[in-house]
Amino acid sequence: MIMSNTSIKTAPEVWDSDLIRASFPALSRVIKGKKLVYLDCAATSLRPNPVIDAGCDFCRMHDGNPHRGMHALSYEATEVYESSRDDVSRWLDAPSIKSVVITRNATSAINLVAGGLRNKVKKGDNIVVTMMEHHANLIPWQQLCKLTGAELRHIPLTKTGELDISDLSRYIDKNTKVVAVAHVSNVLGTINPIKKISDAAYDAGAYMLVDSAQAVGHMPVSFKKLGVDFLVFSAHKCYGPSGLGFLIAKEEALYALDPTEYGGDMIEYVSFEDSTWADIPHRFEAGTANAQAVASFPETIRFIENIGTDKIRAHEKMIVTYALEKLGVIDGIKILGPLDPAVRGGLVAFTDSLVPPHDMSTVLDMEGVAVRAGHHCAQPLHRLLGIPSSTRASFGVYSTKNDVDELVKAIEIARGFFGRRSQYGT
């Protein structure tokens, strides 16, 4: 129904950087007199024209409330909403269309699972996370443990910034209820061995959740191959709209959850005294959804599929390899996480003994280079590494080696600008 002027119609035979970059209007921005170099994909990726157009087209012509009305616009909104769910189910190899819950983002999807298990977890149980989690995959489990008296355990890291899974039985045992692990660390870049961990969770009879916020759209992802019970991600980190995320789950795992939000559209029958719930997945989708965002997600999937996730992963690996080489030779720069690109996603966080991260990011912005500085919502990990914050460059389909060269040039300018030895990161 929604037509867009898709600029990438067919998969290019080779990596056609110019064609891909032409799809992203924001790349034409000039920031402080410099052509934008966007290296903040891990925070939010830019959006290509087909995704922007699909969202606008929905607003312009089909702006009804999904599931709520008996008129053409509401029917159309419902059709778009449910077909988007269907597309996600097919794309990520979900068990069924009922297995796909539409959420606000990855954070709300994890809260939905953690809160939904509040009546299943008790004192004496334990929940296992890792020491590299984003706050989104840490705090909901902390809160669940506080509420229920369960113990929170953390899988530690090796010296190279990978998960130490040499003896998972030290953490995952018969009392483990949930194992929740990042697919790709948003700070270290580490690609974690999810299948190995989910096998251990399965043997222990625990639920396994993978936080694929930094993986979906950046590498091939199959729910079934990962062997997990729950997978979450956000649309805005894979060229999709903001305000939209997904929870994919085994049907039986979804049935085990109690809803955490109540109201319109999630009910079956309501009296003044009590209520019963709609079937999955709708029982987890209380209130009016961000239909415009949902409507543009099929174009997001099409955009990624037209390029191909294998090719995207190969491209990001090539860029990250180049970035590791270029940054690695700068005296005083310390790269966080594994130096082997085979186990690293498309991001590099680092400290510089001369320039603190926030200053670095500010000077880089003056040079038109967008990166992120701070703890990246991973305070405990930074504390473990003995640093308050880091600078992170993160890549996507539009990234080029030239972007990395511009980053390095801007870093040199920042170092010259500061021209003094700070104690930071040394």
**Contacting positions for ligand PLP (CB under 6 A):** 105-107, 134, 136-137, 182, 186, 211, 213-214, 234, 377
Judge whether 258 and 240 are in contact, CB under 8 Å: no
Q: How far is the CB of 242 from ligand PLP (least distance, A)?
A: 8
Judge whether 138 and 384 are in contact, CB under 8 Å: no
231, with CB counted inside 10 A (0-12, 13-18, 19+), is buried
C-alpha neighbours within 13 Å on the C-beta side of residue 344:
27
Residue number with CB closer to ligand PLP (77 or 244): 244
**Parallel, antiparallel, or unpaired for β 347-352 and 390-394?**
antiparallel
Residue number with CB closer to ligand PLP (128 or 182): 182
Q: How far is the CB of 237 from ligand PLP (least distance, A)?
A: 6
Residue number with CB closer to ligand PLP (213 or 371): 213
Q: How far is the CB of 346 from ligand PLP (least distance, A)?
A: 12
Helix axes 291-307, 309-328, angle to 10 degrees: 80
Q: How far is the CB of 107 from ligand PLP (least distance, A)?
A: 3
Q: How far is the CB of 70 from ligand PLP (least distance, A)?
A: 34
CA distance 280 to 89: 14
Structure-block tokens of residue 40:
């903040």
- What distance, in Å, lies between the first and last C-alpha atoms of the chain? 57
Residue number with CB closer to ligand PLP (186 or 292): 186
Residue number with CB closer to ligand PLP (133 or 229): 133
C-alpha neighbours within 13 Å on the C-beta side of residue 33:
2
Active site residue 56: no
Report how far apart, in Å, the C-alpha atoms of 397 and of each of 143, 205, 253, 346 are.
Answer: 36, 38, 34, 10
| Residues tagged active-site | 377
